[in-house]
Structure 1
């Protein structure tokens, strides 16, 4: 078995993780371990029983990391954590958070090094000859990553604690990942939809702390080659389509219902920003951002998937849904728990397949010009033309 220090997949991720790598293992600095152990014992021991004190604890952990690439958090994040936990939720909800959820999240962070080590060991044996370990899947680099739901939960906890180094993310064209801007926005320019976005994510943490899911989630970057390659479908131009004699596949039109509520195993298209997640961790609240709030495991892809080009799509399989909601954009509102009853596949992934493509912004009538029609038709090649394991699916838009 390859040693941790020699793994190329891990090496690609180390600049973007808050952990240290020894001769053969990942670990937290000793001061971080002490802080997390204190938090894990609950508010009677840690004295963390408010949003303001939670942010102080987060700041102390961040300082203990001593990472040169760990930039300061957003200026008003402190106010956002205090506002949400000390004013916007009930005292009963806050008590549950500080007495039960925060200690459980601290314990989960303490397990992150071992969860990652187990992940890399298992990744070598999931598929024969196919790399599935957590790594930076760069632009034009087709590949797939499988993550256990517990590891996803630990990574999202890192984001909640704002522990991911961010200074090198811009040069790699990676999206936002820490939650500081999510909380800053609720303080700097309060809105009901921002409060309810955070409520969705906090509900996810409550759920996984009471019952940790045990499945897998896969994240795959699909790339349609720009040049002609043997045995590959390349990036076709207008002439290809005008001369094609292949019949269109059957399709259905549904005039009601939500895309995420369709239950017949269709591919679900996420009309995304070129940066996966769009404004999910800022103030955005449209189709993509709402999907990421009700299924927060999708956010994990923002850690390691740089922005998409026109010949790329990202398929995420297995993200469980945890929240119900009403409204859209400014009227968005968390409306309670959602128990995802979808079956799982042979890889223990929930049978939810979401495909993100870079949609045009405010396209209007120009989307019907040949250039833009071609752009969207081409997305159909990296999306459903080569589905994982040869499974045919319908596509819901």
Structure 2
């Protein structure tokens, strides 16, 4: 086997040696692995003795394990496990792991000799360094062998910290069980043990891919660059469909969707330590995810990690301190043409403890670009961009986005073959009906604003041309109105740019202390009750033209600036009386329309009378009734205040409240 560039990049992180183009275990390690394979180890104490012998054979004694590692292994296998469970483990599972590790050199040689040669881009095991997009394909059997090395704590660690790689050995996992025993830690280990039990009786034969995704920091026609604020504010891509789930779990989603891992920038977070929230739990029930921790350094702000094909082995209940392993899980997900289960997980790390800085535009931009990187399907998006360039007009942006983001477009690009070799593998996998399944990313332990994070993910999924986003609120009170607000926004046919601009406006107000309510309340206060609307003086873009809830409201009309020239861009669509939304003013561009020549004068008179929204609404209804009956054929402004047209002194308004 040739010592390829890929192998060279990862060799120092593997527990094997290389000589004469061959990978091998040191002879002393082979002897110990044979003892394990022969069933000569039958207790947690002896198991750790074997681990120590293996580490000495690999010259790892200078890289100490966590202080209580030996005690942790002994505690779990000699005390936590029942006698029968322990005997079965050492009789049936440990020998399989020992023999599997003996085969690791040959598994790796086979892997490097045939790393998906049908692809035109590197796919073999290597260090997927920061800012270098790429993908790795590993067999489930090779992953099992690598995780066996983690269990026996055989990976060298001295260079991992320098190169921003996460922990990979299981020493801290077991040491923490002894140092601070709790049931969640015990049950995390049970998930790992169950995985090894499963693969020892029936080795899976599928493939798992690990991809580093990068939005390039410099503009480059051959790559997708990291968007700036202007990109988001001017985007005319329509918003995708939103499915709100107040119960259920992301990993149980039945839709064909990319599942979001609320990640730490170090893949896996505290999975092999004391952590036990969303990311760590996912890594426990699908331990093949842990393999990515071997070769994927920490994510930068413009990066994400996508993993396709992992199998789920365990069921569970609870969360954090209440987490419990609850038995076997049979994964029935379909398999794609590459042998990967159609389980797609994207790891994106949110800002940690952002406080008020999360409302600054540069931090909003950081979060939305992080999510966009994760949700992006580059093959489809580049084809979409090419279509825009070919059409050469801005209207194509809306048309193309609509055609690719609607559910009915499934298979539209299925025959496309990109010339970008880095995307060949992608065109073989993803269709146009794959959405995003997510939840309260960056909230909870990370401290983010759930309403802001929800909108950011919706925007990113839409811009990435995903047809839908399935949002799991986990019953969070702040998101109770999400379904209603999303429905209203979609009914207004807002674009990504429209919603982004509203988010920026809200965040600016929030950071200045001008409001302290959530974004959903701020955007559409009417759903929270009119009393709150008046008391808090919130903002809203518009309301329904026929919403009679405004009748009788004691909200005074806002100021009106009438512009007779045709320049500027304002789309309030429901006319200036919509200051029921408590906007301080409406700037109205008449484009020189003759019927509106008196608008400024009429508005000035109405404001001088201190009319409320209800007053003006009632007059509009009265006029419209008269107009529909044929009792008048003049315009509303003329009908309301005829004196300015030279036809009398005006109407009698004495009946107004």
- TM-score when scaled to structure 2? 0.58
* Structure 1 counterpart of 2:335: 344
| CA displacement at 1:385 relative to structure 2 | 2.3
CA contact (8 A) 2:137 2:209 kept: yes
Report what 2:358 is aligned to. Answer: 367
- In structure 1, the partner of 2:64 is 72
Instruction: Give deviations 1:232-254, integer Å, cap 9, x for gaps.
Output: 32111211111122212223222
Q: Which of 93, 106, 114 is the matching residue for 2:85?
A: 93
**2:431 alignment partner in structure 1:** 391
Deviations 1:88-115 (A, max 9, x none): 1111110111101000000000000000
Supply the distance in 2 between the matched residues of 1:391 and 1:310 (Cα, whole angstroms).
Answer: 27
Shift of 1:192: 0.6
Counterparts of residues 1-397 of structure 1 (less than 5 Å): 3-5=1-3, 7-42=4-39, 46=40, 48-67=41-60, 71-123=63-115, 125-127=117-119, 129-363=120-354, 366-387=357-378, 388-389=426-427, 391-392=431-432, 393-397=434-438
Greater shift, 359-368 or 116-125, is seen at 359-368
Q: Deviations over 1:152-198 (max 9, x none)?
A: 00000000000000000011100000000000100111111000000
Using the TM superposition, give the Cα deviation of residue 67 of structure 1 relative to its aligned residue in structure 2, in angstroms: 4.9
- Name the Cα RMSD after superposition: 1.4
* Aligned-partner Cα distance in 2 for 1:343–1:366: 43
Distance 2:66 2:224 in 1: 44
The runs of 5 or more residues in structure 1 that have no matched partner are: none
Q: How big is each residue's C-alpha offset from its partner over 1:135-168, in whole Å with a ceiling of 9 and x where there is no partner?
A: 0001101000000000000000000000000000
Q: CA deviation at 1:374?
A: 1.7
Query: 1: distance between equivalents of 2:356 and 2:197?
Result: 44
CA distance in 1, matches of 2:72, 2:266: 24
- Deviating more after overlay: 236-245 vs 52-61: 236-245
Q: Is the 1:4–1:24 contact (alpha carbons within 8 Å) kept by the matching residues of 2? A: yes
Alpha-carbon distance change, 365 to 287 in structure 1, aligned in 2, over 3 angstroms: farther
Moved more, 266-275 or 115-124: 115-124
- Following the alignment from structure 2 to structure 1, what is the Cα–Cα distance between the partners of residues 312 and 205? 14
Q: Distance in 1 between matches of 2:138 and 2:110?
A: 11
Contact 1:309 1:358 in 2 (8 A): no
Shift of 1:366: 4.6
- What secondary structure, in the 3-state scheme, does the structure 2 residue paired with 1:123 have? coil
Task: Give the distance between the partners of 1:366 and 1:90, measured in 2 at CA.
Answer: 51
Q: Which residue of 1 aligns with 2:477?
A: none
Structure 2: tracts of 5 or more residues without a match: 379-425, 439-657
Worse-matched range after superposition: 235-244 or 205-214: 235-244
1:108-127, CA deviations, whole angstroms, 9 ceiling, x for partnerless residues? 00000000000111116141
Cα distance in 2 between the residues matched to 1:104 and 1:173: 32
CA–CA separation in structure 2 for the residues paired with 1:52 and 1:126: 47
What is the TM-score normalised by the length of structure 1?
0.95
Q: Max radius of gyration: which structure? A: 2
Deviations, residues 41-100 of structure 1 (Å, cap 9, x unaligned): 11xxx2x211111001110111112258x6121110000000001111111110111101
- Aligned length in residues: 388
The 8 Å contact of residues 267 and 354 in structure 1, kept in 2 or not, is answered as yes
How far apart, CA to CA, are the structure 1 residues paired with 2:88 and 2:357?
Answer: 51
Deviation string 1:301-360 (CA, Å, 9 cap, x unpaired) is 000000000100000000100000000000000000000000000010011000001122
Pick 1 or 2: higher relative contact order, CA cutoff 8 A, min separation 6: 1
- Partner of 2:244: helix, strand, or coil? coil
Note if contact 1:318-1:350 (Cα within 8 Å) is conserved in structure 2: yes
Secondary structure class of the residue paired with 1:251: strand
SS of aligned partner of 2:137: strand
Distance 2:150 2:11 in 1: 15
